[in-house]
Structure formats: C-alpha cells, structure tokens
Amino acid sequence: MSDKTFIVWFRNDLRICDHPALFKAVQVGAKIIPIFIYDAGSMGEWDYGAAQKYWLHHSLIALKKDLPNLVLRRGNTMVNLLEIAKKYGAQSIYTLRNYEPWAADLERDLNEICNDEGIEFKRFAGNLLIEPEKLKNKSGNDFQIYTPFFKAVFASDLVRKPIGAPPAFETVEGIEGDNIDDWGFLPKKPDWSGGFTGDIGEKAAHKRLEDFLPRIENYSNGRDIPSQNSTSFLAPHLRFGEISPAQIWAKIHEICPNPIDNYYKFLAEIGWREFSYHLLSRHPKMPYRPLKSQFENFPWEHDETSFKSWQKGQTGYPIVDAGMRQLWQTGYMHNRVRMIVASFLVKHLMIPWQEGAKWFWDCLLDGDLANNSAGWQWVAGCGSDAAPYFRIFNPIMQGQKFDASGEYVRKWVPELAKLPNEYIHFPKDAPIEVLKSAGVVLGRNYPLPMIDHKFARDRALEGLKEVSAQN
C-alpha cells in the first residue's frame, strides 16, 4: 500500500463493479475516502424528486453495506470535498463524469479550485456507452435523429467495455459524516411509499437484469402491453448507476453475440437513454426550453383544475387514469402508458409539457433529467427527433389496442372493474343498464370525460397552425 490517499466522489454511480474512478484509485494503491454529498444548492430546481429521494435513501444504504466507511455529507460539494482533502491529506479527487448542466458546471468549477489548491481532480467515463463528443455522423456533426444515432452506436467500436470490481482496498476510517435518516428522504405523514419496490442497490440491479433475460424473447411485442411483465424495470437502477449501460450492453452481447430481434430492440431502448444524454450535453436548456424554437410561441393553456385532474387520474379516460394512479402508487409507469398520458396532457389539455415533466420528475423513481426531458419533448413534438405534433393519441383506441382485455385498467381503476371489455376504455358509451350492473355512476364514482377527443384534437391542430404560420 502506498502513502497516497484519494477521494472517490460517488454521485449517479452507486456501485462497486465497473466503476472506473474507484478502480483507478485502487489500482495506484491509494487509501480510499468514498464520499457521497447531497448538495441541493448546486442542483437547484433539479434537486431529487420525492420518489427519487426514496430510492436514493435505500441505494446509499445498500452501497454502505459494501463500503462501510462511505462518508455521507449534506451541503456545498466543494466545501466538503476540499475540507476532507486537506484534513486527511488526499492528493486526488476521482469521480465519474455527469452530464446534467448543473453537474457539468460543478465539475468545471471544482477542477479550477483543485488546480489552485494543488489537488488533482480527475473524472472518468462510466455513465454512458460513448462520451458525447466522441460520436459524430459522417459529416462530422452531432446526430439529430435517433435511428441513425443508434445504428452508429450499435456498429461502433467506441462503446465502453465494462470492468470488474477493484481488488481489495483500504478505506480511511473515522471520517465524520451524516446519518442518512436525518436527511428526511423517506415519507412519513403520510407514507405514500407503500407500493414502492424495496429491491434497490447494485445486487438488486443485477438480479433484476438476470430475472429479465428469460423474458426478453417476448420483449418486442410484450413491451407495449402494460398488463404484462415484459419490461426490465432497470430504469431506476440505471438512473442511480447501480448498474451501468456498459454492463447491460456487454451482458446482452454475451448471450447473443450478434443481437437481433428482441435483443436488438432492448438495446435500442438503452440507446434512447444514450441519445437523450448526448442531446442534453449539447443543449443544457433542454429540460425547460423546446429544441424546436417555434414551440416557444405555442398557445398553451394554463388550467390548474385540469392539471390536477390529470395528476390524480380523474380525467374520465381509463387508460390515462390507470397510468397516473400507477405512477402515484408505485413510483413507476409503463412506458407505453407514459406516452399516452403525456400526449393527453399536452395535446388534449394543451398544458405545457414542462409541467408534465416536473410532475414526472417528482413522482418517478427513475426520474432522469435527460430521459425525462427528451421523452416529453418527443411527445410534445418539439424535440430534436420528435413525434410529429399532429400525431395525437386517441386514448380510447390506445387503451383498446394495448390493453384489450382491460386488465391494466381494472387493476388501477378498480371502480371500473366490473365493466365488460367492450366499454372498459370508454364508460361513457356504455348503456345505463351496463353501468348500473357494474356499479358505475358516471360523474359520481368515476368522472365523465373531462374533454371531448375530437374537440381536443382539432384545437391542438389549430395551435400547431398558429405556430407554423409564425415561421
């Protein structure tokens, strides 16, 4: 063991395996000071949402089991890192690169201060497959469209190869830190987390992947059916870096060396996350500004009553209400349903996509700034590679297509459980005797549709014409 002491600063990388910053610090024989800092001031409006805090609490507890001397601190990042570096004689601070705008600014400022203080600050790749500045199209420019982007990633030899766990290493003991319970990350009165998963942490992430692999053969078809257990649920594990995209990528190639069909489709979803981060790194205002600037002038509505009805799953459109209730009760929503509820908010209610994105940020366990922003811009039609604005989901037809048996709606909107399949996705069309037999009283125990689909569609298209006429 050398006389070196290195700080390894953990952030969205709460794992031991495939952690290049930790591995490199151990490789030089340094004593390790592992630290996580909750710095709400630096994050600003992108402080962890309530559901994310629940996950982070448990993820840090899981990491601390593998790193008993993990130091938890709350407050200014630079103050904490420099204080510890000076007090314990740390020569270097190693970390994995982050891509959120506030995080990139923090890394830049920290690098400057460390240089002034004679401390090495070094960041490593590890949270993406390929660093954003390394991947260009044939013209040498950044990709704007997802499909050619993913084809380039899939064919690239730049995809990072995962590394294993570092060899045994020594950590510095006795550094004062916080008790995570004092951070108040868990809900108490009321405790709304009863339906949230408790399978959190690096070991849980790899088990989740292993459990998913036998089901991957049905992924292409099953991933759009919200009542089926056909998706991986790896998103929150990826968001907090309990597993890396490189580890997933390598695992899929291990079991299917030339990924096709379901394997390719699953990797394409990992590719969408990658695309989102590449966009965010180039467009730091993406979380709140449309990438297509003409949408700055879209005639949005600001209806607080309608927004609350959407939040509570009381729109009168069962597939929308099921999704919003699943989100509230579990911190998760099926991806197909995310698109449906987002389209309803933006195009039926004409409420700005930024408002929906903020709600998702607070409620999703996998609240991820790049993914969340790119997803909402895609639905709103204002993203780099977005669905055309005139593509307006009919929530009735979407329900009939992707929840034909009504199983998903019946689970999350139990007041409609006794309705026959014929009417489960639009109770308003059901005859009075059918409603009565099912115990449904529209406007009393289940709302009437808050807006007519045809009217909403026509209004949204008129709004698009206004925007188009301004160009």
DSSP state of 402: H
Q: pLDDT at position 13, please?
A: 98
CA distance 28 to 48: 34
* Residue 391 pLDDT > 90: no
137-183 pLDDT, tens digit per residue, is: 999 999 999 999 999 999 999 999 999 999 999 999 999 999 999 99
> CA 81 → CA 2, 5, 29, 46, 70, distances in Å?
21, 13, 20, 21, 13
Domain extent at residue 78: 5-126
Q: How many residues does the chain have?
A: 471
Among candidate residues 248, 240, 291, 241, the one with its CA nearest the CA of residue 268: 248
Q: pLDDT at position 174, please?
A: 94
- Per-residue pLDDT band for 209 (boundaries 50, 70, 90) equals very high
Q: Residue-wise over 370-380: b if at least 16 C-beta within 10 A, else e? A: bbbbbbbbbbb
**Residue appearing with tokens 């039926």:** 348
Same domain, 241 and 370: no
Are the C-beta atoms of residues 367 and 361 closer than 8 Å to each other? yes
Among candidate residues 311, 345, 330, 339, the one with its CA nearest the CA of residue 460: 345
Same domain, 421 and 311: yes
Indicate the residue among 126, 145, 179 that finishes a domain: 126
Q: Residue-wise over 235-250: b if at least 16 C-beta within 10 A, else e? A: bbbbbbbbbbbbbbbe
- Asked, for residue 106, whether it belongs to a domain, the answer is yes
Same domain, 400 and 425: yes
Write out the DSSP string of 35-78: EEEE-HHHHGGGSPPHHHHHHHHHHHHHHHHH-TT-EEEES-HH
CATH of the domain at 241: 1.25.40.80
Domain count, the chain: 3
